[in-house]
Structure 1
Amino acid sequence: MTQITQTRMHIGPIQIGIIVCALATALIHLYAAVQPGEDLRTWFILNCIGYLVLLAALFLPQLLAYHRLINYVLIAYTAITIIMWFLIGLPSEPIGYVTKIIEVALIAFLVAEDLQGRRHSSTFSA
């Protein structure tokens, strides 16, 4: 007899925060890409796609074994986005500052989820 185990990810406030922040920053980058005269159009579109792909990968049940790795990649991706914004020269539009606040919140949610996952796994491994 074959036993089928189904593992589901818990969706709580932290995960909802991750979803909201990642979608918000992806949509803001897409919005920035369609503005007239935007020199960084391609980079904004790629950034939007990157956030959406990593967000989907983070919650796909088929990739649950790689969840922690994807979490770290999304943290690094978000940090690189913030760093690149500083290197490009701090655009003066307020939406840029709002996006960075959202991205910092995204990193905080991702770190909180990782810590939550470590606590959860340590209680089951004892």
Structure 2
Amino acid sequence: MDTSFDNLKVMVIDDSKTIRRTAETLLKKVGCDVITATDGFDALAKIADSKPDIIFVDIMMPRLDGYQTCALIKNNSAFKETPVIMLSSKDGLFDKAKGRIVGSDQYLTKPFGKEELLGAIRDYVK
């Protein structure tokens, strides 16, 4: 069992309950402390309190999409170093490029598996 994930705070922002629950289940199994948010506004309200170590954000969300959410996180000096991983059901170059422009650190295509999720965390959380 990989213990490097113990007490690691991971935020998952997705308007899909299924995705949130799947990610939360996977992450809790490896010892992560998981904070979920249903959209960008919900996430921004929780980030300041929870100070996550890494954030996964869905691109397609109502009100505030993943790009806007990522840009707002990265524009905040307190959180600009926090890795933000975009989640998308589209595996497009345009989406990846746009994700990079707003400062995202990586891009995972849904449906993602445990390995991709943990691999992303391993890559960014030292």
TM-score category by the smaller chain? under 0.3
Higher helix share: 1
* Greater RCO (CA < 8 Å, at least 6 residues apart): 1
Higher strand share: 2
TM-score, structure 2 as length reference: 0.26
TM-score, structure 1 as length reference: 0.26
